[in-house]
Amino acid sequence: MSIALLRDILIILGIISGLMILLTSTILLVIIFVRVKRIISYIEGSISEIDSLKNKIKESVPKPLSDIINGVITIKKFTESLAQKSKKNKKVTKRKSSKKKKENENE
Protein backbone atom coordinates (compact mmCIF):
# COMPACT_ATOMS: atom_id res chain seq x y z
CA MET A 1 0.00 0.00 0.00
CA SER A 2 1.25 3.36 -0.86
CA ILE A 3 0.84 6.44 1.29
CA ALA A 4 -1.43 8.09 -1.30
CA LEU A 5 -3.87 5.13 -1.20
CA LEU A 6 -3.90 5.18 2.59
CA ARG A 7 -4.52 8.93 2.56
CA ASP A 8 -7.42 8.53 0.13
CA ILE A 9 -8.99 5.81 2.30
CA LEU A 10 -8.72 8.01 5.38
CA ILE A 11 -10.28 10.95 3.55
CA ILE A 12 -13.19 8.80 2.37
CA LEU A 13 -13.74 7.39 5.87
CA GLY A 14 -13.64 10.91 7.31
CA ILE A 15 -16.24 12.16 4.86
CA ILE A 16 -18.50 9.18 5.53
CA SER A 17 -18.21 9.55 9.31
CA GLY A 18 -18.88 13.30 9.04
CA LEU A 19 -22.02 12.67 7.02
CA MET A 20 -23.19 10.03 9.50
CA ILE A 21 -22.71 12.44 12.43
CA LEU A 22 -24.56 15.17 10.53
CA LEU A 23 -27.45 12.80 9.76
CA THR A 24 -27.80 11.55 13.33
CA SER A 25 -27.63 15.04 14.80
CA THR A 26 -30.32 16.22 12.36
CA ILE A 27 -32.57 13.32 13.32
CA LEU A 28 -32.07 14.00 17.02
CA LEU A 29 -32.85 17.70 16.59
CA VAL A 30 -36.06 16.90 14.72
CA ILE A 31 -37.13 14.50 17.49
CA ILE A 32 -36.39 17.12 20.16
CA PHE A 33 -38.33 19.83 18.32
CA VAL A 34 -41.34 17.54 17.85
CA ARG A 35 -41.40 16.71 21.56
CA VAL A 36 -41.03 20.36 22.56
CA LYS A 37 -43.91 21.23 20.24
CA ARG A 38 -46.11 18.59 21.91
CA ILE A 39 -45.24 19.88 25.37
CA ILE A 40 -46.00 23.47 24.36
CA SER A 41 -49.39 22.53 22.90
CA TYR A 42 -50.19 20.55 26.06
CA ILE A 43 -49.32 23.54 28.25
CA GLU A 44 -51.37 25.88 26.04
CA GLY A 45 -54.39 23.59 26.42
CA SER A 46 -53.99 23.56 30.19
CA ILE A 47 -53.69 27.35 30.29
CA SER A 48 -56.89 27.81 28.28
CA GLU A 49 -58.80 25.53 30.67
CA ILE A 50 -57.46 27.44 33.65
CA ASP A 51 -58.37 30.79 32.08
CA SER A 52 -61.97 29.72 31.43
CA LEU A 53 -62.36 28.69 35.08
CA LYS A 54 -60.82 31.94 36.27
CA ASN A 55 -63.27 33.97 34.20
CA LYS A 56 -66.24 32.09 35.65
CA ILE A 57 -64.96 32.72 39.17
CA LYS A 58 -64.38 36.43 38.52
CA GLU A 59 -67.99 36.79 37.45
CA SER A 60 -69.48 35.14 40.54
CA VAL A 61 -67.11 35.82 43.46
CA PRO A 62 -65.99 39.15 45.03
CA LYS A 63 -62.52 40.45 44.07
CA PRO A 64 -60.37 39.49 47.13
CA LEU A 65 -61.74 35.96 47.29
CA SER A 66 -61.50 35.47 43.54
CA ASP A 67 -57.76 36.19 43.60
CA ILE A 68 -57.19 33.53 46.25
CA ILE A 69 -59.40 31.02 44.47
CA ASN A 70 -57.70 31.72 41.13
CA GLY A 71 -54.31 30.88 42.64
CA VAL A 72 -55.61 27.66 44.14
CA ILE A 73 -57.30 26.60 40.91
CA THR A 74 -54.19 27.33 38.89
CA ILE A 75 -52.05 25.14 41.13
CA LYS A 76 -54.69 22.41 41.34
CA LYS A 77 -55.30 22.19 37.59
CA PHE A 78 -51.60 22.16 36.81
CA THR A 79 -50.88 19.37 39.29
CA GLU A 80 -53.93 17.41 38.09
CA SER A 81 -52.82 17.67 34.48
CA LEU A 82 -49.35 16.43 35.40
CA ALA A 83 -50.81 13.58 37.46
CA GLN A 84 -53.12 12.54 34.62
CA LYS A 85 -50.23 12.54 32.18
CA SER A 86 -48.16 10.29 34.45
CA LYS A 87 -51.13 7.94 35.04
CA LYS A 88 -51.60 7.54 31.30
CA ASN A 89 -47.92 6.66 30.89
CA LYS A 90 -48.15 4.09 33.70
CA LYS A 91 -51.23 2.47 32.16
CA VAL A 92 -49.51 2.16 28.79
CA THR A 93 -46.46 0.51 30.32
CA LYS A 94 -48.63 -1.90 32.32
CA ARG A 95 -50.54 -2.93 29.21
CA LYS A 96 -47.37 -3.53 27.27
CA SER A 97 -45.85 -5.62 30.03
CA SER A 98 -49.00 -7.72 30.44
CA LYS A 99 -49.07 -8.44 26.69
CA LYS A 100 -45.44 -9.52 26.82
CA LYS A 101 -46.20 -11.84 29.73
CA LYS A 102 -49.09 -13.43 27.82
CA GLU A 103 -46.90 -13.92 24.76
CA ASN A 104 -44.17 -15.53 26.87
CA GLU A 105 -46.71 -17.86 28.48
CA ASN A 106 -48.08 -18.91 25.08
CA GLU A 107 -44.60 -19.82 23.83
Average pLDDT over residues 22-37: 94
- Per the rule left: phi > 0, alpha: psi between -120 and 50, beta: everything else, 82 is alpha
Q: How far is CA 50 from each of CA 45, 47, 76, rounded to the nearest angstrom?
A: 9, 5, 10
- Predicted local confidence at residue 24, as pLDDT: 96
CB 77 within 8 A of CB 50: yes
Domain boundaries, the chain: 15-95
CB 72 within 8 A of CB 57: no
For residue range 43-90, what is the model confidence (pLDDT) as tens digits? 887 777 777 777 776 677 666 776 777 777 778 777 887 777 666 666
Of the two residues 80 and 2, the one the predictor is more confident about is 2
Nearest alpha-carbon partner for 72 in 92, 58, 54, 52: 54
Q: Would you place residue 91 in the very low, low, confident or very high pLDDT band (cuts 50, 70, 90)?
A: low
- Predicted local confidence at residue 56, as pLDDT: 75
CB 45 within 8 A of CB 85: no
Assessment of whether the complete model's pTM goes beyond 0.75: no
- Predicted local confidence at residue 40, as pLDDT: 84
- Predicted local confidence at residue 87, as pLDDT: 66
